[in-house]
Amino acid sequence: MTQNPLDTLSSTSFDDFPYVRPDMEHLSRVFEQHLTSFGQSASAVAQAEALAAIVAVREEFSSMYNLCYIRHTANTADPFYEAENQYFDEQSPSFEALNNKLYKALLSSKFRDTLAKKFGEHLFVLAEVSLKTFNPSILEDLQQENALSTEYTKIKARARIEFDGKSYNLSSLLPVELSNDRETRKRATEAKWQFYADNAPEVETIFDGMVKLRHSMAQKLGFKSFTDVGYARMRRSDYCPEMVAKFRKQILEHIVPIASSLYERQRVRLGLASLKYYDEDYKFASGNPKPIGTPEEIVANAAKMYQELSPDTDVFFKRMQDARLMDLVNRDGKATGGYCTYIPKFEAPYIFSNFNGTSGDIDVLTHEAGHAFQVWSSKSFPLEEYHWPTADAAEIHSMSMEFFTWPWMHLFFGDQTEKYRFMHLAGAIQFLPYGVAVDEFQHLVYDQPDMTPAERDQVWRELEKKYLPHRDYDGVAHLEAGRFWHKQSHIFNSPFYYIDYTLAQICAFQFWVKDRQDHKSAWADYLRLCQAGGSSSFLNLVKLANLKSPFEDGCVQSVVGEIQAYLNSVDDSRF
């Protein structure tokens, strides 16, 4: 007898979620059968039923995909999930192809209006945008693109950096890079960049392959450049590269000078003659604020925080704990970074990170938990399309949660709380210029796909001079040559994603301002946004949350006044 997964939801924990490799041949046959019924349906009700059957097939596939992804990244050396991951690398494009058939069928439905009333018009908008990104002629290219991404990820995951007689991976080296001793900081940071320098030929070959492959896919899809495909892949339906360019200009004009002045304050605070690249993340002579307690204690404090924040966050976080939906601590063999994903079959958000004793550990519990809380709040949408919004909107949930949890930061930082808040807000400002530089870089790269790797590096170096005028690489040849971007995985694995952080950051700043003025209405706006999930486009969601569009002239300027006033009110010479 098969068990209804819903019955076991509250009792099953992550390790018991059963993994079964989807049989692609069988799945395709069933999917196609339902598609045929969909096409032949004589009524809207019958079509909606066929659609529901397809939704169930898709849910099984994506649940197994995400389960495999989590278990593979939790231990990249596990041969079972490595093989399964490879299977998904190979099969995902075929699954995409099926999805595209569905989207075509939806768009040509006789009952489109009735379906749109039931499922929302946005489904059809998404169907249209998605269709732009695929046709069967690029199936093999997509498989190759996946394989290149995996290669890049592996290079970083297998990093072994020998430093002062100890062996580190990229995550575990981070605290050493933030050492109180400047010479240690310098040498640890240099050791990290030596790893990237050693791997530069391989990394540049991978990226060059990606750029050429992506350009050729764009042409097969009928576009001038991959930029159009990149935007469509990000499911952007209501803004274009010209609007984004204008947004970057707002950042250049209003944020870059504040960021530069913050680096100057930092230089003075640290008592340095000049602030070098290895000092940038080292904010205070007394060290960056470090979280208090063991990982278990940190999670217990997070539970207290979410209990007090709202009844919804309380229920949510208890479920994350009870079902063991978080893998937080750094281990060898674990993939780098942090992410949040969702397993629809078990209504389970999942948070993955690499705690390493820095304040970043707390950011995971606020940022990734923001994502997880949103998907949790949107789980009752039957369509997976609506579980998550596009990333530009999704990052609003995560980045705003970082601010909504400010009143509880004393639980994690004790008497260093003010210092943490200052660092968090200043860091958010300082991130923006880098964020738009990464975005502009990708526009330039895909506009001129025939650039040589050295030319790309030069483009990057020029963007650094424009957006990060304070940066001083202390003569390190690898970085002076413009290869800092090699560490930025989004450039490889998630093209055109990066600007979304900056758009969302400007929205999160708006929530920060509102929350300080009136918590109740700010939280109500936020909750409404989380519950809307992906049921609408970026600009519509922004409106729904009572926020100003970041593309609107003056939007960026409208938040910086309050932020600057706060930053100036803090006497950072005490830190």
Tell me which stretch binds Zn ion (CB under 5 A): 251-259, 398-406, 449-457, 553-561.
398-406
Residue number, 237 or 374, with CB nearest to Zn ion: 374
- Residues with Cβ within 8 Å of residue 528, at least 6 apart in sequence: 544, 545
Residue number, 172 or 398, with CB nearest to Zn ion: 398
* C-beta separation of 493 from 152 below 8 A: yes
Residue number, 105 or 401, with CB nearest to Zn ion: 401
Q: What one-letter code names the amino acid at 98?
A: L
At its nearest, how many Å lie between Zn ion and the CB of residue 340? 7
At its nearest, how many Å lie between Zn ion and the CB of residue 367? 6
Question: Which residue of the chain is nearest Zn ion when measured via CB?
Answer: 398
At its nearest, how many Å lie between Zn ion and the CB of residue 248? 20
Residue 20, both tokens = 């079964």
- The span from the CA of 104 to the CA of 295, in Å, is 48
Tell me which stretch binds Zn ion (CB under 5 A): 109-117, 302-310, 393-401, 540-548.
393-401
Residue number, 278 or 498, with CB nearest to Zn ion: 498
Tell me which stretch binds Zn ion (CB under 5 A): 10-18, 91-99, 231-239, 396-404.
396-404
As a 3-state breakdown, the chain gives helix, strand, coil percent values, each rounded to 5, of 70, 5, 25
At its nearest, how many Å lie between Zn ion and the CB of residue 400? 11
- The span from the CA of 158 to the CA of 148, in Å, is 16
Residue number, 178 or 394, with CB nearest to Zn ion: 394
Tell me which stretch binds Zn ion (CB under 5 A): 48-56, 349-357, 395-403, 471-479.
395-403
- The span from the CA of 267 to the CA of 276, in Å, is 9
At its nearest, how many Å lie between Zn ion and the CB of residue 358? 18
Q: How many residues does the chain have?
A: 575
At its nearest, how many Å lie between Zn ion and the CB of residue 371? 6
Tell me which stretch binds Zn ion (CB under 5 A): 179-187, 390-398, 436-444, 448-456.
390-398
How many residues at the interface with Zn ion, by CB under 5 A? 1
- The span from the CA of 461 to the CA of 456, in Å, is 9
* C-beta separation of 94 from 24 below 8 A: yes
Residue number, 388 or 492, with CB nearest to Zn ion: 388
At its nearest, how many Å lie between Zn ion and the CB of residue 498? 11
Residue number, 193 or 434, with CB nearest to Zn ion: 434
At its nearest, how many Å lie between Zn ion and the CB of residue 503? 12
* 146 binding Zn ion? (CB under 5 A): no
Where would I find the H helices in 310-452?
311-322, 360-363, 369-377, 391-404, 410-413, 417-447
Strand order in 339-343's β-sheet?
326-329, 348-355, 339-343
Tell me which stretch binds Zn ion (CB under 5 A): 176-184, 392-400, 421-429, 466-474.
392-400
Burial class (CB in 10 A: 0-12, 13-18, 19+), 462: middle
Burial class (CB in 10 A: 0-12, 13-18, 19+), 224: exposed
Residue number, 38 or 352, with CB nearest to Zn ion: 352
DSSP state of 288: -
Residue number, 241 or 389, with CB nearest to Zn ion: 389
Residue number, 255 or 396, with CB nearest to Zn ion: 396
Residue with tokens 């938040």: 559
DSSP state of 572: G
* 398 binding Zn ion? (CB under 5 A): yes
DSSP state of 277: G
- Residues with Cβ within 8 Å of residue 23, at least 6 apart in sequence: none
At its nearest, how many Å lie between Zn ion and the CB of residue 294? 25
Residue number, 127 or 369, with CB nearest to Zn ion: 369
| Cα dihedral sign, 307-311-316-319 | positive
DSSP state of 19: P
At its nearest, how many Å lie between Zn ion and the CB of residue 545? 17
Where would I find the H helices in 75-169?
79-107, 112-119, 122-131, 139-157
* C-beta separation of 281 from 178 below 8 A: yes
Residue number, 91 or 398, with CB nearest to Zn ion: 398
* 505 binding Zn ion? (CB under 5 A): no
- The span from the CA of 93 to the CA of 329, in Å, is 32
Residue 164, both tokens = 């002062």
At its nearest, how many Å lie between Zn ion and the CB of residue 395? 5
At its nearest, how many Å lie between Zn ion and the CB of residue 408? 20
Residue of 556, 534, 569 lying closest to 392 (CA atoms): 534
Tell me which stretch binds Zn ion (CB under 5 A): 187-195, 211-219, 394-402, 445-453.
394-402
What residue ranges bind Zn ion (CB under 5 A)?
398
